[in-house]
């Protein structure tokens, strides 16, 4: 499919938001060796920008600058830090349309969804600006007459951040929001596929008054090198990562040498269970929202859809009808609901899961084929069994595989039979069943009669091999603080 090359600057009200140099220690810089890497529009296949390709040396400078800048930043009052974060939030919302267009062009999601991510991402900056003012300590009754005991909480230090391509704005703000609110310095390395959204965030951080050097965005195609700098540089005291469990394991191994504190938001394999007492129309609506958000490219997407035998055929029929209404295309086009996948590997993974299922006897009810470029049919497949790849691997694409079950106990056992434990969903109306199932599911997040759970006010994170720690909520700032116990002898 030949289409005009994307001229992103023509799409923006404020073209200065489109930066291709890295933001290091308060300056916009090229790589020391002048190298760049290309950023591709997944909907059209054209290179939309050449971005500075940094090595460890530039990242080390960003870390040193963050360590220096955080001394003054941590000494400011919480209210002062909160006011600057609030200004950053305001600027993100004022520029929501431009930030959304940059995000759509580099990641692919439809503009309406991209603008939704900007609001979601901005909400973490707003939320943690408020939480900055609630970092309380405590006093403890002394264990001896001459002892006065207190506990204070202080910023952990410089934070290294590595984030994925599927939410190029919100995954960064879900980390830098609490980090800056706590008084930390922050060095963020965005995915090579989607650096432009991160650089636009840095433009607005500068305008909001975030001190030079405190916040850096280090763009690089050499992800492994940057990860090693974060894990080996003694000035880094915290590593926060969102991405696959496979890469999370690599980083945890590397972080062990320095006993580096880590937050890990990793892969998922979400079950979506429809019981025979469910509101079927609501269940279809929830399955559509959970499964096809970001074209299935989120870690909390329904990956396995279990339907009780009595309603299986009717649910499959209604879901296929809803899927057929989706409109696949360039996210900048009006009315498009489903963009491209991020790259060729992603297309091949979806195709592999479908071919594996059909080889095992499953039936494609609708969709099932790749289209031009990186586009793929939204797909529903019935007759899925636990032996198929889609039962144990995360598809990360627009495939809705329907498993049939008979009893509540069987559904819970099969839903929990995975190394992952991020999000799970189920639809039922019997209050006894709702109570039993929500407590029995081994997941960090459970959606009951809803397919969308993401909000800045609630703790987001997984159990088992889906991660360590929580992001968002009043808990999300804890990972950026250290607790100090002071024993004063009077």
Residues forming the site for ligand NDP (CB under 6 A): 162-166, 191-193, 223-224, 227, 242-244, 247, 250-251, 265-268, 299, 394, 396, 422, 467
171: number of Cβ within 10 Å: 30
Residues with active-site annotation? 265
Query: Element (H or E) spanning 405, and its range?
Result: strand 399-405
454 binds, among ligand LO4QSZO4, ligand NDP, none (CB under 5 to 8 A by kind): ligand LO4QSZO4
Residues of this chain, 403-462, that bind ligand LO4QSZO4 according to CB under 6 A = 454, 460
Q: Compare residues 295 and 382 and give the one whose CB is closer to ligand LO4QSZO4.
A: 295
Concatenate the DSSP letters of all residues of 129-150 into one string. HHHGGG---EEE--SSTTEEEE
Counting contacts by CB under 6 A, is residue 299 touching ligand LO4QSZO4? Answer: yes
112 binds, among ligand LO4QSZO4, ligand NDP, none (CB under 5 to 8 A by kind): none
- Find where tokens 């071919």 sit: 355
Cα 135 to Cα 147: distance, rounded to the nearest angstrom:
24
Q: What are the CA-CA distances from residue 148 to residues 135, 139, 370, 487 (Å)? A: 21, 8, 68, 6
Q: Compare residues 219 and 382 and give the one whose CB is closer to ligand NDP.
A: 219
Residue 12 is given by DSSP the state -
Concatenate the DSSP letters of all residues of 297-310 into one string. -STTSEEEEEEEGG
Query: Element (H or E) spanning 89, and its range?
Result: helix 78-94
Kindly state the tokens that stand for 348. 């091949």
Candidates 300, 332, 350, 357; binder of ligand LO4QSZO4 (CB under 6 A) is 300
Candidate segments 75-83, 297-305, 309-317, 475-483, binder of ligand LO4QSZO4 by CB under 6 A: 297-305
Least separation in angstroms between CB 466 and ligand NDP? 6
User: Which residues face 427 on adjacent strands?
Assistant: 274
223 binds, among ligand LO4QSZO4, ligand NDP, none (CB under 5 to 8 A by kind): ligand NDP
Candidates 96, 216, 220, 298; binder of ligand LO4QSZO4 (CB under 6 A) is 298
68 binds, among ligand NDP, ligand LO4QSZO4, none (CB under 5 to 8 A by kind): none
Least separation in angstroms between CB 454 and ligand LO4QSZO4? 3
Q: Compare residues 115 and 189 and give the one whose CB is closer to ligand NDP.
A: 189
Cα 179 to Cα 181: distance, rounded to the nearest angstrom:
5
Q: What are the CA-CA distances from residue 292 to residues 182, 197, 284, 376, 426 (Å)? A: 35, 22, 12, 12, 17
362 binds, among ligand NDP, ligand LO4QSZO4, none (CB under 5 to 8 A by kind): none
Count of residues near ligand LO4QSZO4 by CB under 6 A:
10
Exposure class string for 185-200: b at 16+ Cβ within 10 A, else e:
bbbbbbbbbbbbbbbb
Cα 46 to Cα 2: distance, rounded to the nearest angstrom:
10
Concatenate the DSSP letters of all residues of 201-218 into one string. HHHHHHHHTPPTTTEEE-
Least separation in angstroms between CB 80 and ligand LO4QSZO4? 29
Cα 347 to Cα 341: distance, rounded to the nearest angstrom:
7
Length of the chain: 490
Residues of this chain, 149-178, that bind ligand LO4QSZO4 according to CB under 6 A = 166-167, 170-171
Q: Compare residues 312 and 396 and give the one whose CB is closer to ligand NDP.
A: 396
Q: Compare residues 95 and 297 and give the one whose CB is closer to ligand LO4QSZO4.
A: 297
Residue 324 is given by DSSP the state T
Candidate segments 190-198, 232-240, 298-306, 373-381, binder of ligand LO4QSZO4 by CB under 6 A: 298-306
Least separation in angstroms between CB 230 and ligand NDP? 8
Least separation in angstroms between CB 40 and ligand NDP? 13
313: number of Cβ within 10 Å: 13
Residue pair 214/180 in contact (Cβ under 8 Å)? The answer is yes
Q: Compare residues 306 and 460 and give the one whose CB is closer to ligand LO4QSZO4.
A: 460
- Find where tokens 């607790």 sit: 483
Q: Compare residues 188 and 368 and give the one whose CB is closer to ligand LO4QSZO4.
A: 188
Q: Compare residues 81 and 174 and give the one whose CB is closer to ligand LO4QSZO4.
A: 174
Cα 345 to Cα 244: distance, rounded to the nearest angstrom:
15
Sites of contact with ligand LO4QSZO4 (CB under 6 A): 166-167, 170-171, 242, 298-300, 454, 460
């Amino acid at each position: 499919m030949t289409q005009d090359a994307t001229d992103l600057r023509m799409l923006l009200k404020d073209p200065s938001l489109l930066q291709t140099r890295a933001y290091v220690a308060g300056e916009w810089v090229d790589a020391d060796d002048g190298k760049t890497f290309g950023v591709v529009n997944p909907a059209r296949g054209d290179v939309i920008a050449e971005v500075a390709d940094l090595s460890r040396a530039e990242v080390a400078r960003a870390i040193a600058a963050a360590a220096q800048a955080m001394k003054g930043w941590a000494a400011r009052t919480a209210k002062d830090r909160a006011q600057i974060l609030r200004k950053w939030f305001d600027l993100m919302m004022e520029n929501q349309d431009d930030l959304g267009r940059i995000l759509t062009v580099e990641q692919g999601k439809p503009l309406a969804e991209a603008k939704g991510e900007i609001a979601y991402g901005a909400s973490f900056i707003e939320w943690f600006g408020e939480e900055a003012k609630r970092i309380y300590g405590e006093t403890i009754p002394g264990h001896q007459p001459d002892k006065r005991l207190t506990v204070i909480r202080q910023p952990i230090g410089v934070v290294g951040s590595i984030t994925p391509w599927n939410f190029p704005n919100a995954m960064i703000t879900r980390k830098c929001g609490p980090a800056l609110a706590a008084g930390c310095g922050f060095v963020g390395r965005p995915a090579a596929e989607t650096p432009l959204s991160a650089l636009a965030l840095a433009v607005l951080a500068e305008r909001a008054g975030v001190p030079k050097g405190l916040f850096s965005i280090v763009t690089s195609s050499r992800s492994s090198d940057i990860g090693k700098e974060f894990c080996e540089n003694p000035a880094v005291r915290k590593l926060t990562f969102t991405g696959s469990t496979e890469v999370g394991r690599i980083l945890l191994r590397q972080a062990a040498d320095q006993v580096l504190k880590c937050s890990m938001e990793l892969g998922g394999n979400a079950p979506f269970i429809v019981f025979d007492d469910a509101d079927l129309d609501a269940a279809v609506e929830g399955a559509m929202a959970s499964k096809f958000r970001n074209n299935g490219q989120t870690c909390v997407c329904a990956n396995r859809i279990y339907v009780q035998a009595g309603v299986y055929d009717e649910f499959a029929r209604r879901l296929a009808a809803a899927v057929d209404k989706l409109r696949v295309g360039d996210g900048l086009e009006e009315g498009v609901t489903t963009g491209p996948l991020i790259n060729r590997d992603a297309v091949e993974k979806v195709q592999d899961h479908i071919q594996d299922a059909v080889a095992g006897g499953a039936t494609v009810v609708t969709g099932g084929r790749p289209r031009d470029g990186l586009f793929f049919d939204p797909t529903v497949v019935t007759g899925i069994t636990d032996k198929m790849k889609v039962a144990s691997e995360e598809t990360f694409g627009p495939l809705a595989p329907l498993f049939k079950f008979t009893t509540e106990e069987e559904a819970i056992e099969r839903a929990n039979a995975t190394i992952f434990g991020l999000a799970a969903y189920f639809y039922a109306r019997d209050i006894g069943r709702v109570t039993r199932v929500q407590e029995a599911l081994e997941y960090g997040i459970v959606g009951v009669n809803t397919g969308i759970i993401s909000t800045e006010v609630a703790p987001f994170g997984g159990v088992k091999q889906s991660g360590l720690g929580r992001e968002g909520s009043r808990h999300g700032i804890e990972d950026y603080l250290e607790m100090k116990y002071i024993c004063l002898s009077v």
